[in-house]
Structure 1
Amino acid sequence: MSDSESIFNLPVLQQWMQLVITHPDGVQEGIESDAAQQHLVLRADELESVISRSQQLTSLERLQIYGNAYYARLIDCMGEEFPALKHALGEEPFASFVFAYLQQYPSTSYTLDDLGRNFPTFLSETRPDDTSANWPQFLIDLATLERTYADVFDGEGVEDKTPLDVQALASIPPSDWERLRLIPAPCLRLLEFDFPVHLYATAVKNDESPAFSAEEKTWLVIFRSEYIVRRRAVDAAQFRLLQRLVAGDPLGRALETLLAEDQIDEDELPGRLRDWFTFWAKWRFFSEVRLEQS
């Protein structure tokens, strides 16, 4: 296809314009980039052959409006998904982090719901080498929490499913626990952090101005009920048991592992287990019980 034909080919023009306005170094560099030149061989001073000028603006200035608006819109979207992280960093540093992230992980999805999916990974990949500083881990934990909130909100839930029969579950004798598997709800997430970032995020949501949290091992369960994303801080023992159950261990084996790791005293287990199951059933942590054949 000749250059003159390309100018009048809408798909070619669309691909060229996307490459130009999303170029990290600006529109002019985007026009001259190899990727854009593969679609349309054009110098910046020839831009008027594709984009007409207006009475007030040159062709380049008109195109730059789209380039600036593209990144501004994506930064705004990321700020809506990561409000606590934006608060922790400050508006300008947050925008700089997002801009750098979009160069490493450019938007490739039709939906903005996927835009921040790799942001926690990016923060982890680019964290400073100074291991004495703990603030990078705080930011990574915070970003992971907020991204999990978004995933749980947008994902599959249990609202249209039949709740577990708690009485039927309670009637299964301990002798069958080695065959008893609990199938986790699709909206259940388990997060282990070095900081209580859930408290920081809640404070920001309440329009407070919290300071960075002190380092403290934190175990969170994230779930959804009636289309509301909720979180619950739990102790290490309950968290480890949930981990084993979510991984597919039968209840009996999961409990054996818990006791073997000295996560809980054997005398305390019956009462704690009763309380845990009551809470799990109330908030529908598990969607199905399977008693497998021996």
Structure 2
Amino acid sequence: MAEDVMRPLTPDFRMQGSTSDGGSIQKLAESYIKPNELLSSADRLEIYNRQYWFRVMGAVAEDYPGVLAILGEEKFDQLVLAYLKENPSTSFTLRNLGSKLSHWLEGHPEFAPRRHDLLVDVAKLEWAYIESFDRASLSPLSELDISGLTAESQLSLQPHLQLLDLRYPVDELILAVHRETEPAGVASNAASEHKHKKLKRLPTMRRSVIRLAIHRLENNVYYRRIDREAFLLLLAIQEGATLGAAIEKAFSDSKLSAADQAEKIQEYFAHAAGLGWFCLPPDHSPTKL
């Protein structure tokens, strides 16, 4: 029955009439579900089948309100149905349903041919929001720890810190969506009604390189724009580079003077340290800094 309940719906969101090997769903339902005065065995199975899919599709909609706002309800539902057919639920939690959506979207421009890059950027940011909210927060380095760093030192970034190099200022779009969208409660009837809130006009998006640091502070997630050198520096640290190598990568083709670079580096570290972004690598102790 679980297999039948989780079988993908048709494009018009109805239960399929046959199994993958050509068997009759009607006969299959009759083998283990009794009809009643109002519903046949297949009718009763279809209720469970549709409700399962409306629930998982609703869960994705809750995590990706920006993608929904761009596509509109009909196209969004078709996209999620196609995505979940290729990436079915494999986890005990609905939280992980949309984990592959941004990557999957990169290979599926047919859902928004003219706004494909924008759609992918929005999906990346919305998943980064979830990751930032859920991931761990480790003890940050103290000012004393940071003052003792050398070019050979290695440090890590907080697990909740996400770095994105985007093609559109989608942070503005997502913030506009969040202002209009209230999170669904545990008693929500969204799964049974399968309706999405219609949003007002969204801000116009023009192509513009935006680099974001998405981080959590006091149980709130924030989007912070950073410049190219800061992004490259943080990314290199995140990838395991020594501090000297990370700084070299960040400023390898910079036109700033040595004095200006030094000022920038001091600014970046003061800013990141103030937000608690730096922590020790898992296999290091404070004495190794």
Map 1:162-241 → 2, pairs under 5 A: 163-172=140-149, 177-207=150-180, 209-241=201-233
Q: Give yes or no for the alignment of 1:23 onto 2:10.
A: no
After TM superposition, give the deviation of residue 254 of structure 1 in Å: 1.9
Contact conserved, 1:241 with 1:254, CA < 8 A, in 2?
A: yes
- The CA distance in 2 between the partners of 1:222 and 1:194, in whole Å, is 16
Q: Distance in 2 between matches of 1:46 and 1:231?
A: 51
Q: Higher relative CO (CA 8 A, sep ≥ 6), structure 1 or 2?
A: 2
**2:48 is the alignment partner of 1:56:** no
1:171 CA drift (Å): 4.7
State how far apart, in whole Å, the 1-side matches of 2:125 and 2:177 are. Answer: 13
| Change in CA separation of 1:292 and 1:136 when aligned onto 2, cut-off 3 Å | farther
Change (3 A) 1:152 1:195: same
Do structure 1's residue 109 and structure 2's residue 86 form an aligned pair?
no
Q: Which amino acid aligns with 2:173?
A: Y
Aligned to 2:240: 248
TM-score w.r.t. length of structure 1 = 0.81
Structure whose alpha-carbon radius of gyration is higher: 1
Residues 134, 270 of structure 1: CA spacing in aligned structure 2 closer, same or farther, 3 A cutoff?
Answer: farther
- Greater helix share, 1 or 2? 1
Q: Counterparts in 2 of 1:94-133, with a 5 A limit?
A: 94-128=76-110
Letter in 2 for 1:29: G
Q: 1:134 to 1:220 in 2, by over 3 A?
A: farther
The answer to whether the 8 A contact 2:25-2:42 is kept is no
CA drift of 1:28 comes to 4.7
Task: Give aligned-pair identity as a percent.
Answer: 28
Q: For 2:179, give the aligned amino acid.
A: N
SS of 1:260's equivalent in the other structure is coil
1:238-261 C-alpha deviation (Å, 9 max, x unpaired): 111111111222212222233322
Q: 8 Å contact 1:258–1:264 — kept in the other structure?
A: no
Gaps of 5+ in 2: 181-199
TM normalised by structure 2 equals 0.82
Unaligned runs of 5+ in 1: 1-16
